[in-house]
Structure 1
Amino acid sequence: MKKYVQLFGNLLVYFGVYTAVSLIHNLVIVPMFPAYNDILWRNVPVWITINFAITAALLLGFIGIKKAVRKDGRTDNVIAMSRFANLSRENWIALTILGLAIGIFYLSILKLSFVASAFPGFEEYVTLFMRSDSFVLTFLALVVIGPLFEEVLFRGVIFNLLRRTLPIWATFLAQAVLYAYAQPNPSVQAIAFFLAIIYSFVYLRTGSIWSTIWVSAVMNAFIFTTKQFGLHEVFGDFRDATLFFSALLSLFFMVYTVYVIWRGHGAMRYNVMVGNLVLWVFLYFIIYIPSLLLWNNQLLSIKSIEPFLRENNVLGFVIYDLIALAVYYIVMRALHKESLIKVSNFSAISVKSGVLIGLLGIAMGVWVQSFFKIPYIAEAFPQFEGLFSYLTTATFVILVIFLLIHSVYKEVFFRALVYNVLRTEMNMTLSILMCGVIYGGLFFNWDIPMTVYALAGALIFSAMFEWYRSIWAPIINEFLLFFTYYWFRKLDIPYGTLLIVLLVVSSVAIIGLVAYLYRHRERGTGASTDEAKKSRGRAAEQKAAVSMEMGG
């Protein structure tokens, strides 16, 4: 019982000091000095940081006096208790990824329409909290001073005090409740509780207060700088579906990063995986946007060819695809010293397998077109009609050229680059899901029905790539899938008995062909297999070294 009384007494002192400082500083001292009050109101993060700094200084003084009075060596040293231990380079990078993921998650949740309407105080608090007259002063408060004092108080002192007395699960919950209680806004308190759990896992595993200080600093820096440069408004323009998937994706990386840190090895492989993902997605955008501007503002303005281009609008994709493939090839050579062709693994597959994979693509095309001809489905999801119309509006020759080049491009990007990168760290299921989500985000702005469509495609195409160890497998499948779209739309079969029969037959064909292709898959030694072997070898070599470098 004595230890619980002591714990309660210590917590009461710490929170009593924090509450007293906040009340005296905010209600007594600040109003007494108008100029000081004006500076703080124009730089709210500085105000909050001053409260924490005064609290920390008083607590350090209190602990120092307590130690001097007792003289028995049993009084804690805050620095020693917090453990400012060194972190490995791998952990610094992983913690940076975690901080950015939290920042993106926070911003995505903040801008969701139902969150904004249900919790108006959420954005009001963020707007107030980010109010800044001096960028440098506020940045220092948010990114340096604030995280330092806050983490030393909550993780360094309170977490460790609780841990001495309570079971670890109770420690996690108790410090999360206390951390949330210290936040001034109920909406923010829910986020703070969640963050405190994450911080506790990270702190416990790394054994260094630098870990949570850094995560908090990166998160605050991201939210503050994006606010200052107008990116909050950009997020506000996104549809809820886009924000929802952005939140889900960032949540996934938050959880997975904590898992990697907790696992204690493989952090470097994870960091490389995330870095490569960011690289390829970044290249996608910096090529896509200029290509789009070139098509819309330059090529379509040439009167002599405008009618032809509008009749064959898929040529815009052909231009983009060719430029992108060339850039990916150069970047792969420059950064990874590898050939994109080798990484993609354009190895031969048997004629029989190619024919069956092609038949699967045809069956998939018939199923998709039949399914979206159902009146209820067509009315509920009109965006698919727009997609199919766009992809099949071209003369026959141009369409074939487009399908050949675009199928190669998509499979090289999503299978050879994105999927192969994911497979260096994740299992097949997670890699397929992530690949589908990324596909849905890049091509469909995370429109939920179309992202589900993207996930279904990612499942089949990735399975073909895994089973046959050749990029030709998904290319053949995708080419004939979209080619079937073209001919099916040309036939213009009305909704009726024939369409239902086609839907049923194609369903049976897809199931049967997938099962047969799985049972008779060709176990080659393609690039993805080699990369997996290399990754496992690197993991074995790094495990001991990385574990020794870990702070905890």
Structure 2
Amino acid sequence: MKYLKSFGLVILYILIHIAVMKSMEFTFYHSSLWEIESFREVIGENPHLPLMATYLISILIYILITKPIKNKSILEYIRFKKISFKDTLIAIYIGLGALIFNTSIINISFIDKAFPQFDNLLSFNYESSSLIIGILTAVIIGPLLEEFLFRGLIFNELKESIPLIPSVLISSLLYGVIFMDIPLMTFCFVAALLYTFVYIQVNSLLAVYVIDIVATLGVLVSRRLGIESVISDVGDIYMIPVFLFSIVMIVSGCYYLWKQKSQMTNTIDRSQDISVN
């Protein structure tokens, strides 16, 4: 019964977001509003507006339903809480590694040629709307919705009824599936594994959100400043080492978090042994 309840809630969380997304799609593109020329012009210039509305409404619904379902506020349940200065610095460090990774991978010639959808996705996410709308949607509200839904609600719900590793894998897979494209799905699945690992080590969703903001804001600003035109002709001989360096940054940041948690756990265990003796 416990498993059915958890998986039922996971399905509910996903269906809520899909329902809101479809409702906003109808409202913005198929309702009488679309017949208004000035409205069409605004949406044409800022295609993120329907997404922004979808994210905001979804977040509001999750906030409203978490209390009666879990008897906790959503911030308490998903552990969106203050983190230490040291953890903040490590989260920023990992976020910078993710920024370099995202920028370098699409400028490696054979990857860009084989998987143009990576660059297309980044172009839409960070360049298609005005600067303010882009920052609000792609940097602030979008990542917040993703963390609330996939790490905060879905992962935590699964973790309550099944072992940790399957919980990580299923929630990460669901995060990837939303893109309906195998290369993007794989990329986002790996990103979700990273985010969930950090979430587990720091025990605060705020750490993951910091990583997300650093990476997305960095990509948005760099692409708006024309970094693609600057490094497009650099060549793989330089981009591949940069790409590998970004992986080293991400892995070393994660290792530090793991080592820090292991040391903390050992300290607590020793303290408990001393108190028992």
Question: Does residue 1:243 correspond to 2:243, yes or no?
Answer: no
1:226-250 deviation per Cα after TM superposition (whole angstroms, max 9, x unaligned)? 1100012223222122221111110
Question: Does residue 1:39 correspond to 2:42, yes or no?
Answer: yes
Q: CA deviation at 1:100?
A: 1.0
Residues 214-233 of structure 1 aligned to structure 2 (within 5 Å)? 214-233=210-229
Match of 2:78 in 1: 82
Q: CA deviation at 1:137?
A: 2.6
**Is the alpha carbon distance of 1:8 and 1:38 closer, same or farther for their aligned partners in structure 2, counting shifts above 3 Å?**
farther
**Is the alpha carbon distance of 1:47 and 1:225 closer, same or farther for their aligned partners in structure 2, counting shifts above 3 Å?**
farther
Asked if structure 2 preserves the Cα contact closer than 8 Å seen for 1:43 and 1:131, the reply is no
**Is the alpha carbon distance of 1:38 and 1:182 closer, same or farther for their aligned partners in structure 2, counting shifts above 3 Å?**
farther
AA of the residue aligned to 2:57: I
- Secondary structure of the corresponding residue to residue 264 of structure 1: helix
Question: Does residue 1:29 correspond to 2:1, yes or no?
Answer: no
Q: CA deviation at 1:121?
A: 2.1
Match of 1:13 in 2: 12
Between stretches 33-42 and 208-217, larger displacement belongs to: 33-42
Asked if structure 2 preserves the Cα contact closer than 8 Å seen for 1:4 and 1:165, the reply is yes
Q: CA deviation at 1:184?
A: 5.7
Which of 69, 88, 92 aligns to 1:92? It is 88
Which of 57, 65, 87 aligns to 2:60? It is 57
AA of the residue aligned to 2:24: H
Structure 2 residue ranges without an equivalent (≥5): 269-277
Which of 185, 195, 200 aligns to 2:191? It is 195
Give the Cα–Cα distance (whole angstroms) in 2 for the partners of residues 187 and 201 of structure 1: 21
- Secondary structure of the corresponding residue to residue 130 of structure 1: helix
Which of 250, 256, 259 aligns to 2:252? It is 256
Give the Cα–Cα distance (whole angstroms) in 2 for the partners of residues 36 and 216 of structure 1: 31
Q: CA deviation at 1:126?
A: 1.7
TM-score, structure 2 as length reference = 0.86
Percent identity between matched residues is 24
Q: CA deviation at 1:5?
A: 0.9
AA of the residue aligned to 1:7: S
Q: Which has the higher contact order (CA 8 A, sep 6+)?
A: 2
Question: Does residue 1:106 correspond to 2:102, yes or no?
Answer: yes
Asked if structure 1 preserves the Cα contact closer than 8 Å seen for 2:201 and 2:261, the reply is no
AA of the residue aligned to 1:224: L
Give the Cα–Cα distance (whole angstroms) in 2 for the partners of residues 199 and 95 of structure 1: 10
AA of the residue aligned to 2:26: L
AA of the residue aligned to 2:99: G
Q: CA deviation at 1:21?
A: 1.4
> Pairwise CA RMSD of aligned residues?
2.3
Asked if structure 2 preserves the Cα contact closer than 8 Å seen for 1:44 and 1:132, the reply is yes
1:337-381 deviation per Cα after TM superposition (whole angstroms, max 9, x unaligned)? xxxxxxxxxxxxxxxxxxxxxxxxxxxxxxxxxxxxxxxxxxxxx
Give the Cα–Cα distance (whole angstroms) in 2 for the partners of residues 186 and 53 of structure 1: 28
Q: CA deviation at 1:200?
A: 0.7
Give the Cα–Cα distance (whole angstroms) in 1 for the partners of residues 61 and 40 of structure 2: 22
Asked if structure 2 preserves the Cα contact closer than 8 Å seen for 1:110 and 1:122, the reply is yes
Give the Cα–Cα distance (whole angstroms) in 2 for the partners of residues 103 and 232 of structure 1: 13
Residues 125-164 of structure 1 aligned to structure 2 (within 5 Å)? 125-164=121-160
- Secondary structure of the corresponding residue to residue 111 of structure 1: coil
- Secondary structure of the corresponding residue to residue 124 of structure 1: helix
**Is the alpha carbon distance of 1:40 and 1:210 closer, same or farther for their aligned partners in structure 2, counting shifts above 3 Å?**
farther
- Secondary structure of the corresponding residue to residue 30 of structure 2: helix
TM-score, structure 1 as length reference = 0.45
Give the Cα–Cα distance (whole angstroms) in 1 for the partners of residues 120 and 20 of structure 2: 24
Asked if structure 2 preserves the Cα contact closer than 8 Å seen for 1:42 and 1:131, the reply is no
- Secondary structure of the corresponding residue to residue 127 of structure 2: coil
